[in-house]
Chain A
Amino acid sequence: MSKYFVRRLLILIPVLAGISLVLFTILALAPGDPFEELATNPNVPPEVRANLRAQFGLDDPIAVRYVRWFTSMVKGDWGFSFVSRVNVVTLIMQRLPTTIAVIGSAQLLGLLIAIPIGVYSATRPYSIFDQIATTCAFLGFSLPTFFTGLLFILFFSIYLDWLPFIYRADITATGWRWWWEHIRQAIMPVAVLGLAQAASMTRFMRSAVLDVIQLDYVRTARAKGLAERITIVKHVVRNALIPVVTLISLQVPTIFAGALITEQIFRVPGIGSLLISSILANDTPVVMAITFVFSALVVIFSLIADLLYGWLDPRISYR
């Protein structure tokens, strides 16, 4: 297995380099420029705009710019934003805690709901509980997040006035009050995202458990006289979780990209909204940094998923 691991790692490097080249080329070819707002202002002379473009090296050929970016990135210098002249790493770090807190909790919430419900549905297939759970799951992943988001805002913020709907990352309070304020404003975005996640995970969990529950060893366990609960938890769920675990590890990188639409609606200052605003402002260094990190995470986590599967299921062997 270690040979497999080393081989995969070695392939990683050219894959990442190739991804970065494609990303950079596409961004460089895209229309628009970071100084668009200056264009509609009759006050700004054209020489100033041209000067700015030259200063940021925007007029150099693509190949030159790519090599410049790649060499400095390898050295650890991710550049700085064209728009705000802040170090890209600083920008990302400012947003990371919020993203992990909100999106991460949403994923956790999704799992906490999906696993028990999925398992219970599978143990009583086609019962009333199962029918209701299935319907809710279908509703959950057909309703888009912007719709559920707006619905929540309408009910909880406007009609009932229970929860604030603008997320503020800097609440000036201390102690348990700080926690309480944060929880209050995070409930809605976390719920919106978590429920969407839970919907698809429930179905997946349910089918995984159904696969396992029909196997012979489960029948043996029951025949042996093991309590139903122990059969399910100790034997069925453990084996059913194998494919689910790999699915989850593949989904982890999406936490980083955030949930763009939800972040827009609730004004959560996460990495997703940073990505969108940078794209719209043609802030190339920031877009490159975020998309590159995201693709790197995807590649790394798919490697982890493969290894995890092999480790969990002894029947798999690597060549």
Chain B
Amino acid sequence: MEERDLRQLIGQVKAGRLSRRSFVQMMVGLGLTAPMATQMLASAGVAQAQTKAAPYKPTKRGGGGQLKTLWWQGATLLNPHFATGTKDQDGSRIFYEPLASWDPDGNLSPNLAAEVPTLQNGGVAKDGRSVTWKLKKGVVWHDGKPFTADDCVFTAEWVADPATASRNINTYKDLKVEKIDSHTIKITFKKPTPFWADAFVGVGGMVLPKHAFEGYKGDKSREAPANLKPLGTGPYKYVDFKPGDMVRGELFSGYHMPNRPFFDSIEMKGGGDAVSAARAVIQTGEFDYAWNMQVEDEILKRLEQGGKGKADIVAGGNIEHIQINFTDPYKDVDGERSSLKAPHPFLTDPAVRQALNLLVDRASVQEQIYGRTGIATANFLNQPARYASKATKYEFNVEKANQILEAAGWKKGSDGIRAKDGKKLKMLYQTSINQPRQKTQAIVKQASKNAGIDMELKSVTASVFFSSDVANPDTYAHFYTDIQMFTTTMTQPDPELFMLQFTSWEAASKENKYQGRNITRWRSEDYDKLFRAAESELDPVKRAALFIKMNELVIQNVVVIPVVFRPRVAAVANTLRMEQSGWDSDFWALHNWYREA
């Protein structure tokens, strides 16, 4: 889809002929994210939609008893800027709040901000170099001190400091925050920034209190007592924390929204596994909410028959995909395997990659393994079935794969395996230890055997596979196999960082200690050009068109084979009223949770 077509669609939304919702869904179908789509509309002057708030019924604060939640990976620390996973971000989100959050439709929903900055109200500058946020008045921290612009300025500086070694440093290092008055801040970006809604928004945007972290800057940052006893503005205040086991909070009577929160206390219990967590919510009703149900759909359906709870599914940006190695994992060049200097013997042949793409039976993987929790897709950036992009669609056809390979000169030998010029189509396929993944591997292996490709399966324990240990050959970054499979999480609503993993300068190698983000080691000048253009493109529509093209380039060249996109699945008790967002933390709207008998 060209930029021209996108502008036409936006024009239609402006004129009222196309609903906002349909536009957003179409953009998601092309591989963009909902927040990007809403930003496109906002830049064209289409009025920002109000977050469609689900009705909040309780008429007074408190009285709801205890909210019991289950995170099968327990939170290990309570500072969101040091989080090593969503469990820590969620644990922190109980107590801290950002200026705004992402709702499920990709709109910004204000928390500590008085209103969302837009072009119309002058919050967003036309040249893309600054944003002005107006802060809500009357907000207090849990210890009673008032929340002011000083806290925002301090948080930005604290996170941007490289000595703090915060995981959110990229969001805050290229900007400056200045205080205009006690409840207004202005963010100035070093260079024109198309996606401005990153700083102070969502999980990376929680504001820390200046008076609690004042004496703990730089390398002293990890010693702050507030890291373990959080002091925030959220609906619940800190009571107790046992790392890996339990986080407890109680109602904060000075909370800045009326009649909220409903519950008197909250508990976030950790440990165990996903299936027993699903059981505890859906079958026995011991808990009200459980996070990240990586459970087979068949089991979830059986549990739901108990009638106490259900699985709540919402779209996000995570994609389970198979990566193709463009370098040779078995050849050692200067002590490095999978080196850029040694191209792969047969995966660099586009015919082989196209054949592989045809051998992944996504429909079966969805039906038999993931069910509602995994939706077959052809795009690397997610895609709902109704709005399939014409340029990218998936197909499962063993016959066609055979034909393609035959035509490219890969003839079957006496052992049934195809070979050409002495090179056999024998592949090693690795992934982490996880039952649905092992089943997917078996399905792909079976289909490949019918096409004359011999596949050997390998599975590595998750804590090793996903580690960044330079010396360990089994990590996904080393990629010492021919193909590998895992889920990449798109933690930000903006795809720029996500698409960075196909640029040639990010190729992982021994030199950069395998920390480069381009693990397939694919290099393409066209892609690099498109990426550079998108980086500095201010016009959200032009930018979106560039990302769509980048996605198509990746899919058409079969650099990765997307399998299923993974929506977020949570287990929710039938009496609990809450809303999940795929673009933010599970607790993005914790203040609105209540129980209805």
Show the binding face of A for B, using Cβ within 8 Å: 31-33, 35-52, 55, 81, 83-86, 91, 94-95, 157-158, 161, 164-166, 168-170, 172, 264-265, 267, 269, 273-274, 277, 280-282
Contact = CB atoms under 8 A, between A and B. Distances in A.
Contact of B517 (A42, A165, A265): A42
Given A46-B515, A264-B271, 17 more contacts: A31-B464, A31-B467, A32-B464, A33-B469, A36-B468, A38-B84, A40-B476, A40-B486, A45-B170, A95-B242, A161-B284, A166-B280, A170-B240, A265-B272, A269-B242, A269-B271, A274-B244
A33 B467 contact: yes
Contacts of B84: 35, 37-38, 83
Contacts of B244: 84, 269, 273-274, 277
B42 interface: no
Contact of B167 (A32, A41, A81, A94): A41
Contacts of B467: 31-33, 36, 39, 282
B517 A36 contact: no
22 contacts: A31-B472, A38-B84, A38-B468, A40-B466, A42-B517, A43-B167, A46-B512, A49-B468, A51-B165, A55-B219, A83-B84, A84-B244, A85-B222, A158-B284, A165-B276, A166-B276, A166-B287, A169-B242, A269-B245, A277-B74, A280-B463, A281-B463
B259 interface: no
B51 to A, nearest CB: 25
A37 B466 contact: yes
Contacts of B340: none
A184 B310 CA distance: 26
Nearest to B265: A172
B66 interface: yes
B491 A43 contact: yes
B515 A32 contact: no
B571 to A, nearest CB: 13
Given A37-B85, A49-B515, A165 B243 contact: no
Interface in B360-380: none
Contacts of A170: 240, 246, 248, 267
B500 A42 contact: yes
Contacts of A41: 167, 489, 491
A154 B315 CA distance: 33
A71 B269 CA distance: 36
Contacts of B272: 166, 264-265, 267
B498 interface: yes
Contacts of A40: 466, 476, 486, 488-489
A83 B77 contact: yes
Contacts of B171: 43
Interface in B247-270: 248, 265, 267, 269
A115 to B, nearest CB: 34
Given A31-B471, A32-B469, A169 B245 contact: yes
B140 to A, nearest CB: 26
A33 B516 CA distance: 17
Nearest to A32: B467
A52 B165 contact: yes
Contacts of A43: 167-168, 170-171, 204, 491-492, 497
Interface string B194-224: 0000000000100000000000000100110
B283 interface: yes
B145 interface: no
B70 interface: yes
B77 A84 contact: yes
A36 B66 CA distance: 34
B279 interface: yes
B497 A42 contact: yes
A161 B279 CA distance: 12
Contacts of B74: 277
Contacts of B463: 32, 36, 280-282
Contacts of B77: 83-85
A42 B488 contact: yes
A147 B94 CA distance: 36
Contacts of A264: 271-273
B209 to A, nearest CB: 19
A2 B282 CA distance: 62
Contacts of A35: 84, 468
Given A269-B245, A273-B271, A48 B276 contact: no
A274 B488 CA distance: 28
A49 B244 CA distance: 22
B574 interface: no
Contacts of A46: 512-513, 515-516
B477 interface: yes
A280 B491 CA distance: 23
A44 B463 CA distance: 18
A165 B488 CA distance: 33
A44 B167 contact: yes
Nearest to A185: B286
B256 to A, nearest CB: 26
A276 to B, nearest CB: 10
Contacts of B491: 41-43
Interface string B72-106: 00101100000011000000000000000000000
B271 A48 contact: no
A50 B284 contact: no
A302 B401 CA distance: 66
B228 interface: yes
